[in-house]
């Protein structure tokens, strides 16, 4: 039933695009998974697994030694110069960049080629990997290429629908969803992360859904903006009570000016700490205030049991990508857990 009625053909729903009111992000009416039981994973995690990729081995070793800082990658889509420029600004400041789709652009460099460009500039890549544009055969090919490139991790998401963004004329694929892709990525030798949205309906079943992603092969969970350390800590405890053992990487909203605040407000299920935006935007120096606010929130997150790192999340308007990357680097330096190589 869900495969037939969900616009993304999901089996292990719901996705992270459900609105705070429980509505589907692209179809009229509520998400079809709101009243459905959590779908259980029936396979074996990493079945047929190849040996771990070089990037996965390095990131696992780093995670075993200290918390990590991962930054969203703000470069323009289809712009190799912008990719190299932003990577250069972040090199030596963060442990990896989360490089997925660029904003609402629906035409992208293939993930493995984008990862190659970023890593050639000296920054490890944590690839955002969606199911919107490729069938399972093409996904398997990209996962093999990403292993060859040696990315630090693969972040499996179901992906935005083509009805959002600038190419609604393109046919969506969604041959798989994030849970099934997590199993494929783990089998290909990758360190696998998934996302979860604690504030998005069905709130009570989000920890249970994460447990099934773990059973499929996920080792880490990026926690979507959920309102601060209190709600995130509650979500982690509920997940751990169910048997979830993955490491958690909460998303920190990066607001450095009105443009970056506007982009964050466009997120479907954004929940920020009370007064977070107002406190930054009303300051005489929003950039400095945003850096301080992000560092303070990072300290709160890193004090939570089960948290193994933080994700600096956000972006800015076209033409300001390098400026925003420099801001991300400044936030990472203020957090202070990253130690540049000698």
Q: Looking at residues 119-145, what average pLDDT do you find?
A: 96
Please provide the average confidence, as pLDDT, over all residues in the chain: 91
Tens-digit pLDDT profile for residues 56-87: 999 999 999 999 999 999 999 899 999 999 99
Contacts of 33 (CB under 8 A, 6+ apart): 2, 6, 10, 13, 14, 202
Phi-psi region of 189 (alpha: psi -120 to 50; beta: other; left: phi over 0): left
User: Could you tell me the pLDDT band of residue 221, with boundaries at 50, 70 and 90?
Assistant: very high
- Upper half-sphere CA count for residue 47 (Cβ side, 13 Å): 9
Q: Looking at residues 1-27, what average pLDDT do you find?
A: 83
| DSSP per position, 173-196 | --SS-HHHHHHHHHHTT--EEEEE
Whether residue 227 contacts residue 197, with contact meaning beta carbons closer than 8 Å, is answered with: no
Lowest-confidence segment of 26-35, 210-219, 279-288, 322-331 by average pLDDT: 26-35
Distance CA 197, CA 102 (A): 20
User: Could you tell me the pLDDT band of residue 342, with boundaries at 50, 70 and 90?
Assistant: very low
| Predicted pLDDT at 341 | 46
Tens-digit pLDDT profile for residues 231-269: 999 999 999 999 999 999 999 999 999 888 887 877 767
Contacts of 16 (CB under 8 A, 6+ apart): 157, 158, 195, 196, 197, 200, 224, 268, 269
| Predicted pLDDT at 315 | 87
Could you give all domains of the chain from N- to C-terminal order, each with its CATH number? 52-335 (3.20.20.220)
Whether residue 126 contacts residue 98, with contact meaning beta carbons closer than 8 Å, is answered with: yes
Among the listed residues 258, 184, 341, the one whose alpha carbon sits nearest the alpha carbon of residue 194: 184
Q: Looking at residues 281-285, what average pLDDT do you find?
A: 95
User: Could you tell me the pLDDT band of residue 277, with boundaries at 50, 70 and 90?
Assistant: very high
Q: Is residue 126 scored above 50 in pLDDT?
A: yes
Q: Looking at residues 100-114, what average pLDDT do you find?
A: 82
Distance CA 108, CA 102 (A): 8
Distance CA 172, CA 189 (A): 27
Q: Looking at residues 291-316, what average pLDDT do you find?
A: 96
Q: What are phi and psi of 5, to 5 degrees?
A: -105, -20
Whether residue 44 contacts residue 53, with contact meaning beta carbons closer than 8 Å, is answered with: no
Percent of the chain's residues with pLDDT above 90: 73
């Amino acid at each position: 039933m869900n495969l037939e009625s969900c616009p993304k053909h999901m089996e292990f729903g719901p996705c992270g695009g459900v609105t705070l009111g429980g509505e589907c992000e692209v179809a009229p009416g509520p998400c079809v998974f709101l009243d459905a039981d959590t779908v259980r994973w029936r396979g074996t995690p990493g079945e047929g697994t190849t040996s771990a990729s070089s990037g996965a081995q390095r990131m696992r070793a780093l995670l075993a030694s200290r918390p990590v800082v991962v930054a969203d990658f703000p470069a323009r889509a289809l712009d190799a110069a912008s990719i190299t420029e932003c990577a250069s600004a972040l090199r030596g400041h963060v442990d990896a960049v989360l490089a997925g789709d660029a904003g609402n652009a629906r035409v992208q460099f293939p993930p493995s080629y984008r990862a190659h460009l970023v890593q050639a500039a000296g920054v490890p890549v944590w690839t955002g990997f969606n199911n919107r544009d490729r069938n399972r055969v093409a996904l398997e090919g990209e996962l093999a290429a990403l292993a060859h490139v040696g990315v630090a991790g693969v972040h499996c998401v179901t992906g935005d629908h083509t009805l959002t963004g600038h190419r609604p004329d393109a046919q969506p694929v969604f041959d798989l969803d994030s849970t099934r892709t997590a199993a494929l990525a783990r089998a290909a030798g990758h360190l696998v992360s998934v996302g979860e949205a604690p504030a998005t309906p069905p709130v009570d079943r989000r920890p249970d859904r994460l447990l099934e992603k773990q059973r499929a092969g996920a080792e880490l969970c990026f926690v979507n903006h959920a309102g601060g350390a209190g709600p995130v800590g509650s979500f982690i405890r509920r997940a751990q009570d169910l048997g979830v053992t993955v490491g958690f990487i909460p998303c920190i909203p990066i607001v450095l000016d009105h443009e970056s605040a506007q982009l964050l407000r466009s997120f479907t299920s954004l929940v920020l700490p009370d007064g977070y935006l107002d406190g930054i935007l009303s300051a005489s120096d929003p950039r400095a205030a945003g850096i301080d606010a992000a560092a303070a929130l990072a300290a709160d997150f890193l004090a939570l049991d089960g948290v193994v790192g933080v994700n600096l999340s956000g972006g800015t308007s076209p033409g300001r990508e390098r400026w925003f990357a420099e801001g991300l680097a400044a936030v990472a330096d203020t957090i202070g857990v990253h130690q540049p190589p000698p």
